[in-house]
């Protein structure tokens, strides 16, 4: 069999500590194991604090870019930083796009290029590279843009919005395939496409070698005390995609009860959350910095119940990947979301989660009653955890999902 080459073009990749990076690390490795040549165009780690000492970076052209090796896969890293200034963020993004294009042109004999969103603009570079190299292009829609900007309330200019919508249609038109994560996303994309048959649904997955049930988790007892309290947890980005008001309200209502809330991570809403905790003296909420990835499985297993409270303006635009890791650890979920959203549809009728509809007039009351129920019925929590675990093993393991990517890419090459 003639070896085929896949170029992964992603704004994040190992060793960056973010869900899309973990996803594409595993996709890249699976493709390599199945006989593909794989190279990656990405950035230097910049999303979360990571230990870069474990990755050997080779400086190229006085630091214009770097290279590394991920399990035998060559990775090109363009320097990126987080800036407060919109102007600087724009400049560094343009720099990343231009340099990744020229680096991509140097990579020979590419058959398929695959890029995940965000950002939407990454697809322009990938499309240009694919056309010039006579390769196929797969756009992996992890979040739908510009919808995400609009629903966040960040899109004030109608002129810019019109440009982004034209860009979105251009990307869909010139992609050979669109891979998206669920039927809701597909339904949203169909009216925007001339050829909706190009859409393929491939769900995200969890690494069950890393995330699994641990009967006696090893955690820092000063941060995660050993007691009989009901331990309710959120670990991840503390951003706008979640609604943090219900947490504050239910924490106020459950002060004095044996319930402790843990919020682990960082993000745009962390400072607001911290100020609310201090304002209402909510010593039942522990706000904790990001923890090392290797400790996260133990931390997930430490909790009794994991919550995801979706922002109703943004809940149709993405699916938190943490839902899979939680279920893989046999832990139940407490979710606020609406029907016909990716998260609700994934969990409905599974028995793995308590589901509260976001549009309900009694969200806070329902939330309080569920926590009261969970506090006195931990056997039910264990049963819910078992159901989520079985679902992951059946549908969402790394092996099952990366195999779907392999088959899809193989079929696209041969079409």
Residues 206-243 have pLDDT tens digits of: 989 999 999 999 999 999 999 999 999 999 989 988 99
Q: Would you give the distance in Å from CA 187 to the centre of its chain?
A: 20
| Two structure tokens written together for 290 | 């990001």
**pLDDT of 317:** 75
CB 151 within 8 A of CB 126: no
15 and 160 belong to one structural domain: yes
| Two structure tokens written together for 22 | 């973990």
167 and 288 belong to one structural domain: no
- Residue 16 in any domain: the answer is yes
| Domains held by the chain: number | 2
Confidence of residue 1 (pLDDT cuts 50, 70, 90): very low
Mean pLDDT estimate for the chain: 92
Q: Give the Å distances, CA to CA, from 135 to 42, 131, 169, 198, 334.
A: 19, 6, 20, 16, 44
238 and 157 belong to one structural domain: no
- Residue 221 in any domain: the answer is no
**pLDDT of 50:** 64
197 and 339 belong to one structural domain: no
Q: In angstroms, rounded to a whole number, what is the distance separating the alpha carbons of residues 385 and 300?
A: 12
Domain that holds residue 354: 230-395
Q: In angstroms, rounded to a whole number, what is the distance separating the alpha carbons of residues 15 and 159?
A: 37
Q: Give the Å distances, CA to CA, from 367 to 245, 251, 360, 380.
A: 12, 10, 11, 16
| Whether the predicted pLDDT of 247 surpasses 80 | yes
Q: In angstroms, rounded to a whole number, what is the distance separating the alpha carbons of residues 151 and 240?
A: 10
271 and 172 belong to one structural domain: no
258 and 383 belong to one structural domain: yes
264 and 178 belong to one structural domain: no
130-133, long-range: CB within 8 Å, 24+ apart, which pairs? 130/176, 131/174, 132/105
254 and 391 belong to one structural domain: yes
- Residue 225 in any domain: the answer is no
CATH assignment of the domain containing 285: 3.40.50.2000
377 and 299 belong to one structural domain: yes
| Burial (CB count within 10 angstroms: exposed 0-12, middle 13-18, buried 19+), residue 53 | exposed
- Residue 325 in any domain: the answer is yes
Structure pTM?
0.82
Once rounded to an integer, what is the mean pLDDT over residues 50-64? 84
- Residue 224 in any domain: the answer is no
């Amino acid at each position: 069999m003639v070896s085929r080459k896949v170029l992964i073009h992603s704004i994040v990749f190992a060793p960056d500590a973010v869900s899309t990076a973990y996803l594409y690390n595993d996709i890249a490795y699976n493709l390599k194991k199945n006989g593909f040549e794989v190279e990656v165009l990405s950035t230097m780690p910049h999303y979360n604090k990571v230990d870069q000492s474990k990755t050997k970076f080779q400086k190229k052209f006085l630091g214009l870019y770097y290279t590394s090796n991920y399990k035998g896969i060559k990775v090109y890293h363009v320097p990126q930083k987080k800036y407060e200034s919109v102007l600087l963020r724009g400049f560094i993004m343009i720099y990343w796009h231009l340099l990744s294009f020229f680096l991509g042109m140097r990579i020979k004999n590419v058959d398929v290029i695959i890029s995940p969103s965000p950002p939407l603009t990454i697809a322009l570079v990938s499309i240009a590279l694919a056309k010039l190299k006579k390769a196929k292009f797969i756009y992996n829609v992890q979040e739908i843009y510009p919808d995400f900007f609009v629903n966040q309330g960040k899109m004030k200019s109608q002129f810019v919005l019109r440009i982004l919508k034209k860009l979105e249609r251009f990307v869909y038109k010139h992609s050979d395939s669109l891979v998206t994560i669920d039927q809701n996303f597909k339904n949203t994309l169909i009216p925007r496409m001339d050829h909706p048959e190009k859409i393929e649904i491939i769900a995200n997955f969890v690494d069950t070698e890393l995330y699994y049930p641990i009967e006696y988790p090893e955690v820092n007892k000063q941060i995660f005390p050993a007691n009989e309290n009901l331990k309710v947890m959120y670990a991840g980005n503390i951003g706008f995609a979640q609604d943090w008001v219900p947490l504050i309200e239910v924490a106020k209502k459950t002060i004095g009860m044996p319930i402790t809330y843990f919020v682990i991570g960082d993000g745009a809403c962390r400072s607001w959350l911290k100020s609310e905790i201090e304002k209402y003296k909510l010593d039942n909420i522990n706000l904790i910095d990001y923890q090392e990835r290797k400790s996260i499985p133990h931390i997930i297993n430490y909790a009794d119940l994991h919550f995801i409270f979706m922002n109703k303006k943004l809940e149709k635009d993405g699916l938190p990947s943490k839902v899979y890791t939680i279920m893989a650890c046999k832990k139940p979920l407490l979710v606020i979301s609406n029907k016909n959203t990716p998260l609700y549809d994934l969990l409905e009728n599974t028995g793995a989660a308590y589901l509260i509809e976001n549009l309900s007039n009694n969200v806070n009351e329902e939330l309080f009653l569920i926590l009261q129920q969970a506090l006195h019925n931990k056997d039910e929590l264990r049963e819910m955890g078992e159901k989520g675990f079985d679902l992951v093993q059946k549908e969402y393991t790394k092996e099952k999902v990366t195999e779907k990517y392999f088959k899809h890419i193989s079929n696209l090459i041969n079409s």
